[in-house]
Structures are given as structure tokens and as C-alpha cells.
Structure 1
Amino acid sequence: MPPRRSYDQYCSAARALDLVGDRWTLLIVRELLAGPRRYTDLHADLPGVSTDVLASRLKDMERDGLATRRRLPPPGAAFVYELTARGRELLPVLQALGEWGQAELGERRPTDAVRAHWFALPLLRALTGDGVVEVRLDEGDFHLYVGAEDGPVFGDGPAPTEPDARLVLDTATGTAISRGELALPDAVRDGRITVTGDGTLAKALREA
């Protein structure tokens, strides 16, 4: 593989940007926070990225120890990409970047793509504790692993096991939370989010 480009600056921020400063890299990390993903799934959930650029970024991430590629056992037998422990350490970086970028969201533009699970990280920032939360939005369902220290932090579709809480909200409410305009407990109190479930997380949300 060609050598990694570098700013050649003895600075930790510059060294970090050597690894993740290229266009699309951090968004690939966002997608891989859902766990192992096939190339075709990544390409579908990164609208606008070319196949050449996606392949190049994934190779760079493998080289730099941020992601690995492996073949699933039969009957799947497909190759998947997943974050290494080093790659998963970028979660708080993405969360800080997302919080900083709230003011840039504004109104959704006609050209803006959206996926249900793109609301996962803003909701994770608003939740405390540990457990599985299932979320139902107009765009689809996803689930969150609140407080998870390793493994996926979210996933598409309903939770694979009985969740500690289920949240039902519309896109406008999810957008307001993502923009930092609406706090999660306020949305629950105002009836904009319906909370069901008997787990600790559900009880905490209803009592907040």
C-alpha cells in the first residue's frame, strides 16, 4: 500500500488527523460503531461516497489499525469490516464533534440524505446508565447499547433481545434533540417521546 500522507508535525492533533482527517474516514467509523458491516452496506449508508474512495479509506483504516476485515463463517461467507479497539476509541471524538456541530444542522436541505440510525449518537449523548434501548422513528427502527464499553454501540432494526426501554418519536423530535434544542427528559414529559418497558432506563426516563 502507498505510504500514509502526513502533516509531518510533532503534535498529537496533527498525528490524529494523519489517520482520520481524510474525507469520509470518520463517517465510516460512525457506521462501523454499529458492529461488523459488509462493504455493500457501508456504501448504501454513506450516500455520496464513490466505490473507489470507500475502498481506499477502508484499506487505509486497516493499515492504520483502526479497522479489520474478516470473512463470516458459512452460510454467510461474506467479508465484513469492523473497528478495532483503537478504532472504537474514536466514539467520544465523534460524540464531541457531533455536539460541536449541532449548531450547523439548521433546516434539512432537499439534498440531505438521512438514515434512522444517524440519530443514534445524539440519543446516546442524552442517555445515562446501562442497557439496551429500542428506538422507533418515521425512518425506521434502531437500537442502542447505552453504556457499552466494547462492541457495537448501536444497530439497525429492533433490539435482538428484550430491551430495557422502547422509545417512539417522530423525526421532528429526533431532529430537535440532534440540534440541541430539546432535552430528552423534556421531550418525554411533553409527550413527544413515548417510553415503554420495565427496565431501569425506562423508569428513569419516565421519572426524570
Structure 2
Amino acid sequence: MPRRSYDHYCALSRALDTVGDRWSLLVVRELCSGPRRYSDLFADLPGISTDMLAARLKDLERDGILTRRKAGPRTSTAVYELTAAGAGLRTVLDALSAWGTPLLGERRATDAVRAHWFALPLGRALAQRIAAGTVTVHIGESVFHYVITETGLSHHDGPAAVADLVLHLDLNRAIAIATGAESLADVLEDRAR
């Protein structure tokens, strides 16, 4: 299938030619915290078909956004991970997440949800309260951690080897913090009690 293009000599147009297709940025979101197997991506992208996921992975690999490698020397299982160019999209995802947070409204009965989808807004809330450090967040079964520095923050799968702060949240509280309905300061106060 020929690649679609806006055919505009414009940086935004060229960016959208690369990552503007349906599901592309959500695949990147899934890879922001680390490498994932195809089955993990499929499980965490409810509503995507196997054909669409395979096509997006192939397109993003062709365009240098992600790479595909074997999970180990004795396996045919592949893992996908972001390249430096793909990791550069994290700031774009963060900006879109900040812009889209007020649009969330009430959760609909048909809305899928995964705890790690709140990593970007939770990271923003943490970075506003903590100048630097490592924070592990548990939301139900999901565990990820942040590394916060003066130059920004990143999030990663699993707990930090050594964390300055460990938070245990249920999904509703994580959503409340992410949407601004509850402040992180309140959570930290509750934790100190």
C-alpha cells in the first residue's frame, strides 16, 4: 500500500506523515516505558486488530521510530523498543496528554483503561512536587517508576532498584490525581500519617 502524505512542505505535516496514522502514537505511548513484546502491545491496545498492530509496527520501524529485536538468543520472540527518534516523541505525548486531560470527563462504561496510561499525567504531578529523585508507583498490579531530574523526567516499567518515594494508589485515586480532582500533596499527606 503506498504511503499517504499531506504533501505539504511543513514540519508538522512531515511529522504527521510519519506518526499521524490511527494507533501510531498509542503504540509509541506503550513503548515509552520500555521494550514490549507484540502480545503485550496487543493486550494493552484494546480495540486494535492484529493486522493493524502489525502494520503500525512495520511502518514505525521503517520510519526509524522503533526497532525490533529478538528477546533472547534462544527465542524467536521479538521485542519492540523506541529509537532515539521515537523517544523524542515523549514530549509530544506529554503535551498531548496535558491538553487532553481536561477532555477525559467521566469514565464511560465502554472506556477501556490501563493503569500505566496515567504515567504521563502522574509524572507531571510528581515533577511539580519533587525537584529530583526516583519514585516507584504501584497502581493495583501495575508497577512503574519515574526518574526526575532538573532536565525532565522519564518513566520505566517495574519498580526502581532504589526509590526515594514509593506510592501505592488504587486506580480511582490515580485517575483523580491525573485529572486534578485530587492533589498529590493530599496523597503525600495521607501517606505521612
TM-score class, shorter: 0.7 to 0.9
1:71 equivalent to 2:70? Answer yes
Runs of 4+ in 1 over 4 A off after TM superposition: none
Counterpart for residue 143 of structure 2: 142
Q: Provide TM-score, normalisation by structure 2.
A: 0.87
Equivalent residues of 1:124, 1:144 under 8 A apart: no
The alignment-based identity, stated in percent, is 55
Aligned to 2:175: 175
RMSD: 2.2
Figure out how many residues of one structure are paired with residues of the other and give that number.
188
Alignment partners' CA distance in 2, 1:75 and 1:161? 27
Deviations for 1:83-108, whole angstroms, at most 9, x for unmatched residues? 00000001111111011111111111
CA distance in 1, matches of 2:110, 2:116: 18
Look up the equivalent residue of 1:164 and give its one-letter code.
Answer: D
1:40-96 per-residue CA deviation (whole Å, 9 max, x = no partner) reads: 110000010000000000111011110010112235552111000000001111111
Instruction: Give the Cα separation in 1 of the matches to 2:186 and 2:3.
Output: 46
Tell me the TM-score normalised to structure 1 length.
0.82
CA separation of 1:16 and 1:174: change in aligned 2, threshold 3 A: same
Which 10-residue stretch deviates more, 35-44 or 122-131? 122-131
Task: Check whether the contact 1:119–1:174 (CA below 8 A) recurs between aligned residues.
Answer: yes
| Partner AA of 1:74 in structure 2 | P
**1:186 positional shift:** 3.5
Matched to 2:18, the amino acid is L
Q: How far apart in 2 are the matches of 1:106 and 1:168? A: 24
Q: How far apart in 2 are the matches of 1:124 and 1:93? A: 14
> What are the within-5 Å matches in structure 2 for residues 44-193 of structure 1?
44-128=43-127, 129-137=131-139, 139-147=140-148, 153-155=155-157, 157=158, 159=159, 161-189=161-189, 191=190
